[in-house]
A = this chain, B = another copy of it.
Amino acid sequence: MEKPLADAAQGDSLTFLRDELRTFARERDWEQFHTPKNLAMALSVEVAELVEHFQWLPTGADAELDEQKRTGIRHELADVLAYLIQLADKTNVDLVAALREKMALNRLKYPADRVRGDARKYSEY
């Protein structure tokens, strides 16, 4: 059985980071480049830099990574989050609320009893 949704978290860390990113862009007069279209492209580029770390590895599990790769992955994850927050900001989306809403939909769409361990069903996820 699905657990009822707890009260929404306040999203404070994401709000804090959003404000830091706003200041960073404004101080450099970089807001002019930050259209939603451009931010979506930049996001896709950062994700690819993350993918690059994993492309020739069997699974990317911790034992397959050395310290340099771990740092690289950490930094790329940060870059992805930075562009994701900025794109959500420009499109007026509350990321935490959006994900909670999407998870509620996914709980209905993929009932645990019906899709358990099923790669075929999963592939439609």
Interface residues of A (CB under 8 A from B): 3, 6, 9-17, 20-21, 23-24, 27-30, 32-33, 35-38, 40-45, 47-62, 70, 73-75, 77-82, 84, 87-88, 91-93, 95-96, 98-103, 106-107, 110, 112, 115-117, 119, 122-123, 125
**A84 and B116 alpha carbons, distance in the complex (Å):** 22
* Partner among B28, B59, B62, B117 whose Cβ is within 8 Å of the Cβ of A30: B117
Task: Give chain B residues whose Cβ lies under 8 Å from the Cβ of A95.
Answer: 77-78, 81
20 A-B pairs, CB-CB below 8 angstroms?
A: A10-B13, A20-B100, A28-B110, A29-B117, A33-B56, A36-B59, A36-B60, A37-B55, A38-B55, A38-B56, A38-B59, A43-B50, A43-B80, A44-B44, A73-B91, A77-B93, A78-B95, A78-B103, A79-B102, A82-B99
A81: contacting residue among B35, B59, B75, B99, CB under 8 A: B99
Q: Say whether B77 contacts A119, CB under 8 Å.
A: no
